[in-house]
Amino acid sequence: MTTNLPFSITLKHILSSFASLVLITLFFITRTSFSPSSSIQPPDNKTLRISNSSTGTKSHSQESVSCNKIPPSLADALIHYAASNVTPQQTHSEISVTKKVLEKKSPCNFLVFGLGYDSLMWSTLNYGGRTIFLEENESWIRQIAEKFPSLESYHVRYNTKVRDAEALMAAARDKEECHSVSTDPRVSACDLALKGLPEVVYETEWDLIMVDAPTGFHEEALGRMTAIYTAGMMARRWKDEGETTDVFVHDVDRKVEDEFSMADYLTEQEGRLRHFTVPSHRGYGVSGGKLCP
Ligand X SMILES: *[C@@H]1O[C@H](CO)[C@@H](O)[C@H](O)[C@H]1NC(C)=O
Interface contacts to ligand X, rule CB under 6 A: 44-45, 52, 54-55, 137, 139-140, 143
Q: Which is nearer to ligand X, 139 or 287 (CB)?
A: 139
Nearest distance in Å: CB 139, ligand X: 4
Nearest distance in Å: CB 194, ligand X: 19
Pairing relation of β-strands 266-270 and 244-250?
unpaired
Q: Which is nearer to ligand X, 125 or 141 (CB)?
A: 141
Nearest one of 199, 200, 279 to 246, comparing CA atoms: 279
Nearest distance in Å: CB 64, ligand X: 12
Nearest distance in Å: CB 248, ligand X: 22
Nearest distance in Å: CB 60, ligand X: 13
Taking CB atoms, the residue at the shortest distance from ligand X is 52
Nearest one of 69, 221, 48, 203 to 130, comparing CA atoms: 203
Q: Which is nearer to ligand X, 18 or 217 (CB)?
A: 217
Q: Which is nearer to ligand X, 44 or 203 (CB)?
A: 44
Q: Which is nearer to ligand X, 143 or 159 (CB)?
A: 143
Nearest distance in Å: CB 116, ligand X: 11
Nearest one of 114, 124, 107, 110 to 144, comparing CA atoms: 114
Nearest distance in Å: CB 215, ligand X: 6
Judge residue 244's burial from the number of C-beta atoms within 10 Å of its C-beta, 0-12 exposed, 13-18 middle, 19 or more buried: middle
Amino acid at 133: F
Cα–Cα distance, 107 to 105 (Å, whole number): 6
What long-range pairs does 130-134 form, CB within 8 A, spacing at least 24? Answer: 130/204, 132/200, 132/201, 134/197, 134/201, 134/213, 134/227
Q: Which is nearer to ligand X, 6 or 289 (CB)?
A: 6
Q: Which is nearer to ligand X, 37 or 55 (CB)?
A: 55
